[in-house]
Structure 1
Protein backbone atom coordinates (compact mmCIF):
# COMPACT_ATOMS: atom_id res chain seq x y z
CA UNK A 1 0.00 0.00 0.00
CA UNK A 2 1.24 3.46 -0.90
CA UNK A 3 0.07 6.96 0.01
CA UNK A 4 0.56 9.73 -2.53
CA UNK A 5 1.33 13.24 -1.29
CA UNK A 6 0.48 16.08 -3.71
CA UNK A 7 2.82 19.05 -3.36
CA UNK A 8 1.72 22.49 -2.26
CA UNK A 9 2.94 25.80 -3.61
CA UNK A 10 6.30 27.17 -2.47
CA UNK A 11 8.97 24.82 -3.84
CA UNK A 12 8.74 26.07 -7.44
CA UNK A 13 12.03 26.67 -9.27
CA UNK A 14 13.01 27.55 -12.84
CA UNK A 15 13.09 24.46 -15.02
CA UNK A 16 10.71 22.41 -12.89
CA UNK A 17 8.94 19.83 -15.02
CA UNK A 18 10.97 20.55 -18.15
CA UNK A 19 12.72 17.16 -18.05
CA UNK A 20 9.33 15.40 -18.04
CA UNK A 21 7.73 17.11 -21.02
CA UNK A 22 8.70 14.44 -23.55
CA UNK A 23 6.40 12.01 -21.73
CA UNK A 24 3.00 12.09 -23.51
CA UNK A 25 0.88 12.04 -20.34
CA UNK A 26 2.88 14.90 -18.82
CA UNK A 27 2.83 16.84 -22.09
CA UNK A 28 -0.94 16.40 -22.38
CA UNK A 29 -1.42 17.62 -18.80
CA UNK A 30 0.62 20.77 -19.47
CA UNK A 31 -1.25 21.41 -22.74
CA UNK A 32 -4.72 21.01 -21.24
CA UNK A 33 -3.91 23.22 -18.27
CA UNK A 34 -2.30 25.81 -20.54
CA UNK A 35 -5.47 25.97 -22.63
CA UNK A 36 -7.70 26.19 -19.55
CA UNK A 37 -5.62 28.92 -17.91
CA UNK A 38 -4.44 30.77 -21.03
CA UNK A 39 -0.82 30.33 -19.89
CA UNK A 40 2.02 28.66 -21.82
CA UNK A 41 3.10 26.30 -19.06
CA UNK A 42 5.65 24.52 -21.24
CA UNK A 43 7.42 27.81 -21.94
CA UNK A 44 7.29 28.67 -18.23
CA UNK A 45 8.70 25.26 -17.38
CA UNK A 46 11.57 25.56 -19.87
CA UNK A 47 12.32 29.28 -19.81
CA UNK A 48 10.46 30.95 -16.94
CA UNK A 49 12.45 33.07 -14.51
CA UNK A 50 11.98 32.76 -10.76
CA UNK A 51 9.96 35.98 -10.81
CA UNK A 52 7.66 34.67 -13.55
CA UNK A 53 6.96 31.35 -11.91
CA UNK A 54 6.33 33.00 -8.54
CA UNK A 55 3.18 34.62 -9.95
CA UNK A 56 0.02 33.52 -8.12
CA UNK A 57 -1.49 31.50 -10.96
CA UNK A 58 1.80 30.46 -12.59
CA UNK A 59 3.30 28.96 -9.42
CA UNK A 60 0.17 27.00 -8.64
CA UNK A 61 -0.34 25.86 -12.23
CA UNK A 62 3.23 24.57 -12.60
CA UNK A 63 3.07 22.82 -9.24
CA UNK A 64 -0.21 21.15 -10.12
CA UNK A 65 0.87 20.24 -13.67
CA UNK A 66 3.94 18.39 -12.38
CA UNK A 67 1.93 16.55 -9.70
CA UNK A 68 -0.87 15.52 -12.04
CA UNK A 69 1.52 14.68 -14.87
CA UNK A 70 3.74 12.46 -12.73
CA UNK A 71 0.74 10.86 -11.05
CA UNK A 72 -0.81 10.10 -14.44
CA UNK A 73 2.38 8.38 -15.59
CA UNK A 74 2.49 6.30 -12.41
CA UNK A 75 -1.16 5.28 -12.71
CA UNK A 76 -0.64 4.33 -16.36
CA UNK A 77 2.27 2.11 -15.27
CA UNK A 78 0.09 0.36 -12.68
CA UNK A 79 1.25 2.23 -9.56
CA UNK A 80 -2.07 3.58 -8.28
CA UNK A 81 -2.05 4.53 -4.57
CA UNK A 82 -4.19 3.24 -1.75
CA UNK A 83 -4.69 6.77 -0.39
CA UNK A 84 -3.85 10.36 -1.31
CA UNK A 85 -3.32 13.64 0.58
CA UNK A 86 -2.72 17.07 -0.90
CA UNK A 87 -1.20 20.04 0.91
CA UNK A 88 -3.24 23.23 0.34
CA UNK A 89 -3.06 23.65 -3.46
CA UNK A 90 -2.14 19.96 -3.60
CA UNK A 91 -5.71 19.17 -2.56
CA UNK A 92 -6.80 20.17 -6.09
CA UNK A 93 -4.13 17.95 -7.69
CA UNK A 94 -5.36 15.12 -5.46
CA UNK A 95 -8.93 15.63 -6.69
CA UNK A 96 -7.77 15.05 -10.26
CA UNK A 97 -5.62 12.00 -9.50
CA UNK A 98 -8.43 10.46 -7.42
CA UNK A 99 -10.75 11.06 -10.42
CA UNK A 100 -13.03 13.32 -8.42
CA UNK A 101 -12.69 16.26 -10.84
CA UNK A 102 -11.70 16.49 -14.49
CA UNK A 103 -8.42 18.26 -15.17
CA UNK A 104 -10.20 21.10 -16.97
CA UNK A 105 -12.57 21.68 -14.03
CA UNK A 106 -9.67 21.50 -11.59
CA UNK A 107 -7.68 24.05 -13.63
CA UNK A 108 -10.67 26.37 -13.59
CA UNK A 109 -10.93 25.91 -9.82
CA UNK A 110 -7.22 26.70 -9.48
CA UNK A 111 -7.68 29.97 -11.38
CA UNK A 112 -10.69 31.03 -9.29
CA UNK A 113 -8.92 30.09 -6.05
CA UNK A 114 -5.63 31.83 -6.91
CA UNK A 115 -7.28 35.05 -8.06
CA UNK A 116 -9.71 35.12 -5.14
CA UNK A 117 -6.89 34.66 -2.66
CA UNK A 118 -4.84 37.40 -4.34
CA UNK A 119 -7.77 39.81 -4.00
CA UNK A 120 -8.26 38.81 -0.36
CA UNK A 121 -4.58 39.54 0.31
CA UNK A 122 -5.02 43.06 -1.09
CA UNK A 123 -8.22 43.64 0.90
CA UNK A 124 -6.86 42.21 4.17
CA UNK A 125 -3.05 42.40 4.33
CA UNK A 126 -1.40 39.76 6.47
CA UNK A 127 1.58 37.46 6.88
CA UNK A 128 2.62 33.98 8.02
CA UNK A 129 5.21 32.84 10.54
CA UNK A 130 6.77 29.38 10.97
CA UNK A 131 7.38 28.51 14.61
CA UNK A 132 10.31 26.15 15.07
CA UNK A 133 9.97 23.74 17.96
CA UNK A 134 6.27 24.47 18.43
CA UNK A 135 3.44 22.10 19.14
CA UNK A 136 -0.07 22.93 17.97
CA UNK A 137 -0.90 23.76 21.59
CA UNK A 138 2.07 26.14 21.75
CA UNK A 139 0.85 27.88 18.61
CA UNK A 140 -2.68 28.24 19.96
CA UNK A 141 -1.34 29.67 23.22
CA UNK A 142 0.90 32.17 21.43
CA UNK A 143 -1.95 33.31 19.20
CA UNK A 144 -4.26 33.81 22.18
CA UNK A 145 -1.57 35.72 24.09
CA UNK A 146 -0.50 38.24 21.43
CA UNK A 147 -3.51 38.59 19.09
CA UNK A 148 -4.90 41.60 21.00
CA UNK A 149 -8.10 41.48 18.98
CA UNK A 150 -6.37 40.95 15.63
CA UNK A 151 -6.69 37.81 13.50
CA UNK A 152 -3.95 35.33 14.44
CA UNK A 153 -4.43 31.57 14.11
CA UNK A 154 -2.50 28.32 13.55
CA UNK A 155 -2.53 27.81 9.77
CA UNK A 156 -0.32 24.87 8.82
CA UNK A 157 0.03 21.91 11.17
CA UNK A 158 3.01 20.49 9.30
CA UNK A 159 4.91 18.16 11.61
CA UNK A 160 6.21 17.91 15.17
CA UNK A 161 8.18 21.06 15.87
CA UNK A 162 6.88 22.96 12.86
CA UNK A 163 3.63 24.90 13.00
CA UNK A 164 2.85 27.97 10.90
CA UNK A 165 0.62 30.76 12.18
CA UNK A 166 -1.21 33.30 10.04
CA UNK A 167 -2.75 36.70 10.72
CA UNK A 168 -2.52 40.45 10.40
CA UNK A 169 0.93 41.95 9.89
CA UNK A 170 0.82 43.59 13.31
CA UNK A 171 -0.12 40.37 15.09
CA UNK A 172 2.58 38.42 13.28
CA UNK A 173 5.17 41.00 14.35
CA UNK A 174 4.07 40.61 17.99
CA UNK A 175 4.19 36.83 17.70
CA UNK A 176 7.66 36.94 16.15
CA UNK A 177 8.95 39.12 18.96
CA UNK A 178 7.36 37.00 21.69
CA UNK A 179 8.65 33.73 20.24
CA UNK A 180 12.18 35.10 19.96
CA UNK A 181 12.04 36.53 23.47
CA UNK A 182 11.22 33.00 24.64
CA UNK A 183 14.53 31.92 23.11
CA UNK A 184 12.96 30.07 20.19
CA UNK A 185 13.45 30.32 16.43
CA UNK A 186 10.87 31.43 13.89
CA UNK A 187 10.86 32.30 10.20
CA UNK A 188 8.56 34.77 8.46
CA UNK A 189 7.35 33.16 5.25
CA UNK A 190 7.54 34.85 1.85
CA UNK A 191 3.80 34.69 1.21
CA UNK A 192 1.52 37.32 -0.29
CA UNK A 193 -0.76 37.30 2.73
CA UNK A 194 -2.33 35.44 5.63
CA UNK A 195 -3.34 32.23 3.88
CA UNK A 196 -5.49 29.70 5.75
CA UNK A 197 -6.84 32.32 8.14
CA UNK A 198 -10.13 34.22 8.49
CA UNK A 199 -8.54 37.05 6.50
CA UNK A 200 -9.24 34.83 3.48
CA UNK A 201 -12.99 34.67 4.15
CA UNK A 202 -13.96 36.53 0.96
CA UNK A 203 -11.87 34.08 -1.08
CA UNK A 204 -13.46 31.15 0.74
CA UNK A 205 -16.89 32.37 -0.34
CA UNK A 206 -15.78 32.73 -3.97
CA UNK A 207 -14.28 29.24 -4.01
CA UNK A 208 -17.34 27.71 -2.39
CA UNK A 209 -19.69 29.41 -4.87
CA UNK A 210 -17.62 28.22 -7.82
CA UNK A 211 -17.43 24.68 -6.46
CA UNK A 212 -21.22 24.66 -6.24
CA UNK A 213 -21.21 24.69 -10.07
CA UNK A 214 -18.94 21.64 -10.39
CA UNK A 215 -19.71 17.93 -10.42
CA UNK A 216 -17.66 15.94 -7.91
CA UNK A 217 -17.34 12.16 -8.27
CA UNK A 218 -16.62 9.62 -5.55
CA UNK A 219 -12.84 9.16 -5.13
CA UNK A 220 -11.31 6.03 -6.61
CA UNK A 221 -9.29 5.58 -3.42
CA UNK A 222 -9.08 7.15 0.04
CA UNK A 223 -8.70 10.94 -0.17
CA UNK A 224 -8.25 12.93 3.03
CA UNK A 225 -9.28 16.57 3.28
CA UNK A 226 -7.00 19.31 4.63
CA UNK A 227 -9.73 20.91 6.71
CA UNK A 228 -10.36 18.01 9.08
CA UNK A 229 -8.14 15.04 8.09
CA UNK A 230 -11.32 13.10 7.29
CA UNK A 231 -12.19 11.20 4.08
CA UNK A 232 -13.50 13.27 1.19
CA UNK A 233 -17.27 13.25 0.67
CA UNK A 234 -18.54 14.53 -2.68
CA UNK A 235 -21.76 15.76 -1.05
CA UNK A 236 -19.84 18.28 1.05
CA UNK A 237 -17.08 19.08 -1.45
CA UNK A 238 -17.98 22.72 -2.13
CA UNK A 239 -18.20 23.68 1.51
CA UNK A 240 -15.00 21.93 2.49
CA UNK A 241 -12.97 23.27 -0.45
CA UNK A 242 -14.19 26.75 0.36
CA UNK A 243 -13.40 26.31 4.03
CA UNK A 244 -9.92 25.05 3.18
CA UNK A 245 -8.93 28.54 1.98
CA UNK A 246 -9.48 30.02 5.44
CA UNK A 247 -8.91 26.94 7.63
CA UNK A 248 -5.69 25.40 8.88
CA UNK A 249 -4.01 22.68 6.82
CA UNK A 250 -4.09 19.52 8.94
CA UNK A 251 -1.20 17.70 7.28
CA UNK A 252 0.28 16.06 10.35
CA UNK A 253 -3.16 14.93 11.49
CA UNK A 254 -3.85 13.43 8.05
CA UNK A 255 -0.60 11.47 8.04
CA UNK A 256 -1.21 10.22 11.58
CA UNK A 257 -4.70 9.05 10.59
CA UNK A 258 -3.16 7.07 7.73
CA UNK A 259 -0.44 5.66 9.98
CA UNK A 260 -3.16 4.33 12.26
CA UNK A 261 -4.57 2.51 9.24
CA UNK A 262 -1.21 0.85 8.62
CA UNK A 263 0.01 3.11 5.82
CA UNK A 264 3.80 3.30 6.06
CA UNK A 265 4.91 3.95 2.47
CA UNK A 266 4.67 7.57 1.22
CA UNK A 267 5.43 8.99 -2.23
CA UNK A 268 5.40 12.74 -2.87
CA UNK A 269 4.05 13.15 -6.37
CA UNK A 270 5.44 16.57 -7.22
CA UNK A 271 8.44 18.83 -7.19
CA UNK A 272 10.64 19.63 -4.20
CA UNK A 273 10.25 16.86 -1.64
CA UNK A 274 8.87 19.14 1.11
CA UNK A 275 6.05 16.80 2.09
CA UNK A 276 8.23 13.69 2.09
CA UNK A 277 10.52 15.47 4.55
CA UNK A 278 7.57 16.40 6.76
CA UNK A 279 6.47 12.76 6.86
CA UNK A 280 9.99 11.86 8.01
CA UNK A 281 9.57 14.27 10.93
CA UNK A 282 6.17 12.77 11.77
CA UNK A 283 7.37 9.14 11.74
CA UNK A 284 10.92 8.12 10.84
CA UNK A 285 9.84 4.49 10.46
CA UNK A 286 8.00 5.34 7.24
CA UNK A 287 9.38 4.80 3.75
CA UNK A 288 9.48 8.05 1.77
CA UNK A 289 10.11 8.86 -1.88
CA UNK A 290 9.90 12.08 -3.89
CA UNK A 291 9.06 11.94 -7.60
CA UNK A 292 9.30 15.36 -9.21
CA UNK A 293 12.07 14.95 -11.78
CA UNK A 294 12.72 12.56 -14.67
CA UNK A 295 15.60 10.96 -12.79
CA UNK A 296 13.40 10.30 -9.76
CA UNK A 297 10.55 8.98 -11.91
CA UNK A 298 12.78 6.61 -13.89
CA UNK A 299 14.37 5.31 -10.70
CA UNK A 300 10.96 4.58 -9.18
CA UNK A 301 9.56 2.88 -12.28
CA UNK A 302 12.66 0.76 -12.72
CA UNK A 303 13.18 -0.19 -9.06
Structure 2
Protein backbone atom coordinates (compact mmCIF):
# COMPACT_ATOMS: atom_id res chain seq x y z
CA UNK A 1 0.00 0.00 0.00
CA UNK A 2 1.24 3.47 -0.92
CA UNK A 3 0.92 5.54 2.25
CA UNK A 4 0.17 9.26 2.18
CA UNK A 5 1.08 11.84 4.84
CA UNK A 6 -0.57 15.25 5.15
CA UNK A 7 1.75 17.91 6.54
CA UNK A 8 0.73 21.41 7.59
CA UNK A 9 2.55 24.71 7.28
CA UNK A 10 3.83 26.74 10.22
CA UNK A 11 4.27 30.44 10.89
CA UNK A 12 6.25 32.37 8.29
CA UNK A 13 4.53 30.82 5.26
CA UNK A 14 1.71 33.40 5.14
CA UNK A 15 1.16 35.78 2.23
CA UNK A 16 -1.57 38.22 1.16
CA UNK A 17 -4.11 36.46 -1.07
CA UNK A 18 -3.45 32.93 0.21
CA UNK A 19 -6.47 30.67 -0.25
CA UNK A 20 -8.44 33.13 -2.39
CA UNK A 21 -8.79 30.74 -5.34
CA UNK A 22 -10.03 27.98 -3.03
CA UNK A 23 -12.48 30.43 -1.40
CA UNK A 24 -13.81 31.55 -4.79
CA UNK A 25 -14.22 28.06 -6.25
CA UNK A 26 -15.35 25.73 -3.44
CA UNK A 27 -18.26 26.39 -1.05
CA UNK A 28 -16.59 24.08 1.53
CA UNK A 29 -13.51 26.31 1.53
CA UNK A 30 -15.57 29.49 1.68
CA UNK A 31 -17.32 28.09 4.75
CA UNK A 32 -13.95 27.63 6.49
CA UNK A 33 -13.02 31.31 6.04
CA UNK A 34 -16.54 32.44 7.02
CA UNK A 35 -16.41 30.29 10.16
CA UNK A 36 -13.10 31.88 11.21
CA UNK A 37 -14.54 35.39 10.75
CA UNK A 38 -17.50 34.37 12.92
CA UNK A 39 -15.26 32.78 15.61
CA UNK A 40 -13.04 35.85 15.95
CA UNK A 41 -15.67 38.53 15.39
CA UNK A 42 -13.45 40.23 12.81
CA UNK A 43 -13.11 39.98 9.02
CA UNK A 44 -9.86 38.03 9.08
CA UNK A 45 -10.64 36.75 5.57
CA UNK A 46 -10.46 40.34 4.25
CA UNK A 47 -7.10 40.81 5.97
CA UNK A 48 -5.85 37.56 4.37
CA UNK A 49 -7.10 38.34 0.87
CA UNK A 50 -6.55 42.09 0.55
CA UNK A 51 -5.00 43.42 3.75
CA UNK A 52 -1.45 44.58 4.33
CA UNK A 53 1.55 42.46 5.25
CA UNK A 54 2.18 44.26 8.54
CA UNK A 55 -1.23 43.25 9.93
CA UNK A 56 -1.07 39.68 8.61
CA UNK A 57 2.43 39.29 10.08
CA UNK A 58 1.23 40.09 13.60
CA UNK A 59 1.48 36.71 15.30
CA UNK A 60 -2.03 36.85 16.82
CA UNK A 61 -3.45 37.20 13.28
CA UNK A 62 -0.86 35.09 11.46
CA UNK A 63 -1.66 31.96 13.44
CA UNK A 64 -5.46 31.81 12.88
CA UNK A 65 -4.92 32.94 9.26
CA UNK A 66 -2.56 30.05 8.43
CA UNK A 67 -4.71 27.47 10.22
CA UNK A 68 -7.78 28.74 8.33
CA UNK A 69 -6.07 28.59 4.94
CA UNK A 70 -4.65 25.12 5.72
CA UNK A 71 -8.07 23.80 6.76
CA UNK A 72 -9.50 25.17 3.50
CA UNK A 73 -6.79 23.33 1.53
CA UNK A 74 -7.70 20.16 3.43
CA UNK A 75 -11.39 20.62 2.54
CA UNK A 76 -10.44 21.05 -1.12
CA UNK A 77 -8.38 17.84 -1.37
CA UNK A 78 -10.96 15.92 0.70
CA UNK A 79 -13.43 16.32 -2.19
CA UNK A 80 -11.26 13.83 -4.12
CA UNK A 81 -11.56 11.06 -1.53
CA UNK A 82 -7.80 10.96 -0.83
CA UNK A 83 -7.08 9.60 2.67
CA UNK A 84 -3.91 10.21 4.72
CA UNK A 85 -2.24 7.42 6.68
CA UNK A 86 -0.70 9.92 9.11
CA UNK A 87 -0.51 13.68 9.67
CA UNK A 88 1.73 16.24 11.37
CA UNK A 89 2.35 19.97 11.27
CA UNK A 90 5.34 22.21 11.88
CA UNK A 91 4.79 24.09 15.16
CA UNK A 92 1.51 25.97 14.52
CA UNK A 93 0.72 23.39 11.82
CA UNK A 94 0.35 20.75 14.54
CA UNK A 95 -2.93 22.45 15.51
CA UNK A 96 -4.24 21.99 11.96
CA UNK A 97 -3.14 18.34 11.99
CA UNK A 98 -4.99 17.78 15.28
CA UNK A 99 -8.09 19.50 13.88
CA UNK A 100 -8.32 17.35 10.76
CA UNK A 101 -7.77 14.30 12.95
CA UNK A 102 -10.85 15.21 15.02
CA UNK A 103 -9.25 16.47 18.26
CA UNK A 104 -10.33 20.12 17.82
CA UNK A 105 -13.27 21.66 16.03
CA UNK A 106 -12.60 24.75 13.95
CA UNK A 107 -14.56 26.88 16.44
CA UNK A 108 -12.22 25.66 19.20
CA UNK A 109 -8.90 25.87 17.37
CA UNK A 110 -9.19 29.33 15.78
CA UNK A 111 -9.63 31.35 19.03
CA UNK A 112 -7.05 29.06 20.68
CA UNK A 113 -4.31 29.75 18.13
CA UNK A 114 -5.11 33.47 18.16
CA UNK A 115 -4.46 33.47 21.92
CA UNK A 116 -1.39 31.26 21.45
CA UNK A 117 -0.03 33.82 18.98
CA UNK A 118 -0.65 36.67 21.41
CA UNK A 119 0.94 34.77 24.30
CA UNK A 120 4.03 33.99 22.20
CA UNK A 121 4.30 37.59 21.03
CA UNK A 122 4.07 38.95 24.57
CA UNK A 123 6.34 36.38 26.27
CA UNK A 124 9.63 38.11 25.41
CA UNK A 125 10.05 41.91 25.21
CA UNK A 126 10.88 43.13 21.71
CA UNK A 127 14.61 43.28 21.08
CA UNK A 128 15.51 40.80 23.83
CA UNK A 129 15.35 37.59 21.80
CA UNK A 130 16.06 36.39 18.27
CA UNK A 131 16.30 33.30 16.08
CA UNK A 132 18.98 32.27 13.60
CA UNK A 133 19.14 29.45 11.04
CA UNK A 134 22.43 27.54 11.07
CA UNK A 135 23.06 26.15 7.59
CA UNK A 136 25.38 23.25 6.79
CA UNK A 137 26.36 22.09 10.27
CA UNK A 138 25.50 18.75 11.89
CA UNK A 139 23.32 18.56 14.98
CA UNK A 140 26.10 17.67 17.44
CA UNK A 141 28.16 20.74 16.50
CA UNK A 142 25.13 23.05 16.66
CA UNK A 143 24.44 21.80 20.18
CA UNK A 144 28.11 22.35 21.07
CA UNK A 145 27.94 25.94 19.73
CA UNK A 146 24.86 26.65 21.87
CA UNK A 147 26.50 25.17 24.98
CA UNK A 148 29.69 27.16 24.43
CA UNK A 149 27.69 30.43 24.14
CA UNK A 150 25.66 29.94 27.35
CA UNK A 151 27.91 32.38 29.27
CA UNK A 152 26.30 35.12 27.18
CA UNK A 153 22.70 34.11 27.95
CA UNK A 154 20.03 31.65 26.86
CA UNK A 155 20.54 29.97 23.47
CA UNK A 156 19.00 26.64 22.43
CA UNK A 157 18.22 24.58 19.30
CA UNK A 158 14.63 25.44 18.36
CA UNK A 159 13.86 23.69 15.05
CA UNK A 160 15.46 20.63 13.47
CA UNK A 161 14.06 21.25 9.99
CA UNK A 162 16.10 19.02 7.69
CA UNK A 163 19.72 17.91 7.18
CA UNK A 164 21.92 21.00 7.31
CA UNK A 165 19.24 23.38 8.61
CA UNK A 166 18.82 23.85 12.34
CA UNK A 167 17.30 27.00 13.85
CA UNK A 168 18.59 28.28 17.20
CA UNK A 169 16.90 30.83 19.44
CA UNK A 170 17.39 32.73 22.67
CA UNK A 171 18.78 36.02 23.97
CA UNK A 172 20.27 38.25 21.27
CA UNK A 173 23.88 38.29 22.50
CA UNK A 174 23.96 34.53 23.13
CA UNK A 175 22.44 33.69 19.72
CA UNK A 176 24.95 35.97 17.96
CA UNK A 177 27.82 34.33 19.85
CA UNK A 178 26.53 30.79 19.10
CA UNK A 179 26.29 31.74 15.40
CA UNK A 180 29.92 32.96 15.41
CA UNK A 181 31.02 29.72 17.10
CA UNK A 182 28.97 27.69 14.60
CA UNK A 183 30.78 29.40 11.70
CA UNK A 184 34.14 28.49 13.25
CA UNK A 185 32.91 24.88 13.52
CA UNK A 186 32.15 24.82 9.78
CA UNK A 187 28.64 26.24 9.29
CA UNK A 188 28.20 27.47 5.72
CA UNK A 189 25.88 30.33 6.69
CA UNK A 190 24.03 31.75 9.68
CA UNK A 191 20.85 33.61 8.76
CA UNK A 192 18.95 35.80 11.22
CA UNK A 193 15.19 35.18 11.02
CA UNK A 194 12.58 37.92 11.19
CA UNK A 195 10.39 36.63 14.03
CA UNK A 196 8.87 38.46 16.97
CA UNK A 197 10.24 36.11 19.66
CA UNK A 198 12.62 33.15 20.15
CA UNK A 199 9.93 30.49 19.62
CA UNK A 200 10.45 26.93 20.90
CA UNK A 201 12.99 27.92 23.55
CA UNK A 202 12.73 28.09 27.34
CA UNK A 203 12.23 31.88 27.04
CA UNK A 204 8.67 31.08 25.91
CA UNK A 205 7.79 29.54 29.28
CA UNK A 206 5.33 32.38 30.15
CA UNK A 207 3.46 31.72 26.88
CA UNK A 208 3.34 27.99 27.65
CA UNK A 209 1.86 28.66 31.10
CA UNK A 210 -0.84 30.93 29.63
CA UNK A 211 -1.64 28.38 26.94
CA UNK A 212 -1.93 25.65 29.58
CA UNK A 213 -4.71 27.65 31.29
CA UNK A 214 -6.56 28.08 27.99
CA UNK A 215 -6.34 24.37 27.23
CA UNK A 216 -7.80 23.37 30.61
CA UNK A 217 -11.36 24.28 29.62
CA UNK A 218 -11.31 22.73 26.15
CA UNK A 219 -12.85 19.28 25.71
CA UNK A 220 -11.03 17.26 23.07
CA UNK A 221 -12.41 14.91 20.43
CA UNK A 222 -10.92 11.65 19.17
CA UNK A 223 -7.75 11.00 17.15
CA UNK A 224 -9.25 9.63 13.94
CA UNK A 225 -6.03 10.04 11.93
CA UNK A 226 -2.67 9.26 13.60
CA UNK A 227 -0.72 12.43 14.52
CA UNK A 228 3.03 12.66 15.17
CA UNK A 229 4.03 15.19 17.85
CA UNK A 230 6.66 17.91 17.33
CA UNK A 231 7.94 17.35 20.87
CA UNK A 232 8.56 13.58 20.69
CA UNK A 233 8.67 12.87 16.91
CA UNK A 234 6.46 9.91 17.81
CA UNK A 235 2.77 9.08 17.50
CA UNK A 236 0.43 10.62 20.04
CA UNK A 237 -0.82 7.52 21.83
CA UNK A 238 -3.86 8.93 23.61
CA UNK A 239 -5.99 12.07 23.62
CA UNK A 240 -5.14 12.75 27.26
CA UNK A 241 -1.47 13.36 26.26
CA UNK A 242 -2.33 16.20 23.89
CA UNK A 243 -2.71 19.16 26.25
CA UNK A 244 0.65 18.47 27.90
CA UNK A 245 2.35 18.02 24.50
CA UNK A 246 0.96 21.35 23.24
CA UNK A 247 2.06 23.05 26.48
CA UNK A 248 5.59 21.66 26.07
CA UNK A 249 5.66 22.37 22.32
CA UNK A 250 5.76 26.15 22.82
CA UNK A 251 9.12 25.96 24.63
CA UNK A 252 10.58 22.72 23.19
CA UNK A 253 12.57 22.01 20.02
CA UNK A 254 10.47 21.11 16.97
CA UNK A 255 11.72 17.70 15.82
CA UNK A 256 10.60 18.05 12.21
CA UNK A 257 13.33 16.09 10.44
CA UNK A 258 12.85 13.28 12.98
CA UNK A 259 9.06 13.38 12.38
CA UNK A 260 9.48 12.96 8.62
CA UNK A 261 11.99 10.15 9.11
CA UNK A 262 9.50 8.38 11.39
CA UNK A 263 6.88 8.58 8.64
CA UNK A 264 9.34 7.26 6.06
CA UNK A 265 10.25 4.32 8.33
CA UNK A 266 6.52 3.51 8.52
CA UNK A 267 6.25 3.29 4.75
CA UNK A 268 5.06 6.78 3.76
CA UNK A 269 6.17 7.60 0.21
CA UNK A 270 3.79 10.46 -0.65
CA UNK A 271 3.75 13.77 1.24
CA UNK A 272 1.15 16.49 0.69
CA UNK A 273 1.81 19.94 2.16
CA UNK A 274 -1.53 21.62 2.80
CA UNK A 275 -1.49 25.37 3.34
CA UNK A 276 0.48 28.40 2.18
CA UNK A 277 3.90 28.01 0.58
CA UNK A 278 6.19 25.06 -0.08
CA UNK A 279 8.65 25.31 2.83
CA UNK A 280 7.83 21.86 4.21
CA UNK A 281 7.99 20.32 0.72
CA UNK A 282 11.57 21.60 0.48
CA UNK A 283 12.46 20.11 3.86
CA UNK A 284 11.03 16.70 2.90
CA UNK A 285 13.00 16.66 -0.37
CA UNK A 286 16.21 17.51 1.54
CA UNK A 287 15.55 14.55 3.84
CA UNK A 288 14.95 12.09 0.96
CA UNK A 289 14.92 13.16 -2.69
CA UNK A 290 13.20 9.92 -3.77
CA UNK A 291 9.92 10.83 -2.03
CA UNK A 292 6.87 12.10 -3.89
CA UNK A 293 6.01 15.56 -2.59
CA UNK A 294 2.99 17.69 -3.50
CA UNK A 295 1.38 20.81 -2.12
CA UNK A 296 -2.12 22.29 -2.17
CA UNK A 297 -2.58 26.06 -1.93
CA UNK A 298 -4.44 27.03 -5.13
CA UNK A 299 -6.29 25.45 -8.07
CA UNK A 300 -3.17 24.55 -10.06
CA UNK A 301 -1.42 22.80 -7.15
CA UNK A 302 -4.67 21.06 -6.15
CA UNK A 303 -5.11 19.69 -9.68
CA UNK A 304 -1.50 18.50 -9.86
CA UNK A 305 -1.69 16.76 -6.47
CA UNK A 306 -5.05 15.07 -7.03
CA UNK A 307 -4.12 13.75 -10.49
CA UNK A 308 -0.90 12.27 -9.07
CA UNK A 309 -2.60 10.78 -6.01
CA UNK A 310 -5.80 9.36 -7.53
CA UNK A 311 -4.13 5.99 -8.08
CA UNK A 312 -2.43 5.94 -4.65
CA UNK A 313 -3.73 4.50 -1.40
Q: TM-score, normalised by structure 1?
A: 0.96
Q: 1:49 aligns with which of 47, 52, 67?
A: 52
Mapped to 1, the partners of 2:268 and 2:306 lie a distance apart of: 20
Mapped to 2, the partners of 1:124 and 1:187 lie a distance apart of: 17
Aligned residue in 2 for 1:235 = 240
Deviations 1:207-258 (A, max 9, x none): 1221121122221111001111121231111111011000010101111111
Q: 1:123 to 1:58 in 2, by over 3 A?
A: closer
1:83 aligns with 2:57: no
Provide the aligned length of Structure 1 versus Structure 2: 303
Mapped to 2, the partners of 1:102 and 1:214 lie a distance apart of: 10
Aligned residue in 1 for 2:255 = 250
Gaps of 5+ in 2: 309-313
Aligned residue in 2 for 1:201 = 205
Say what the alpha-carbon RMSD is for the aligned residues. Answer: 1.5
Aligned residue in 1 for 2:75 = 72
Q: 2:96 aligns with which of 93, 97, 100?
A: 93
Q: CA offset at residue 16 of structure 1? A: 1.2
Q: CA offset at residue 177 of structure 1? A: 2.2
Q: CA offset at residue 200 of structure 1? A: 0.3
Q: CA offset at residue 51 of structure 1? A: 1.5
Q: TM-score, normalised by structure 2?
A: 0.93
1:59 aligns with 2:62: yes
What secondary structure sits across from 1:13 in the alignment? coil
Where in structure 2 are the equivalents of 1:13-162 lying within 5 Å? Answer: 13-22=15-24, 23-122=26-125, 125-148=128-151, 150-162=153-165
Q: CA offset at residue 55 of structure 1? A: 1.3
Q: 1:183 to 1:223 in 2, by over 3 A?
A: closer
Does structure 1 conserve the Cα–Cα contact (< 8 Å) formed by 2:39 and 2:111?
yes
1:9 aligns with 2:15: no
With 179-188 and 76-85 compared, the bigger mean Cα shift is at: 179-188
Mapped to 2, the partners of 1:109 and 1:182 lie a distance apart of: 41
Q: CA offset at residue 149 of structure 1? A: 5.9
Runs of 4 or more, structure 1, over 6 Å off, are none
Mapped to 2, the partners of 1:245 and 1:36 lie a distance apart of: 23
What secondary structure sits across from 1:224 in the alignment? coil
What secondary structure sits across from 1:264 in the alignment? strand
Gaps of 5+ in 1: none
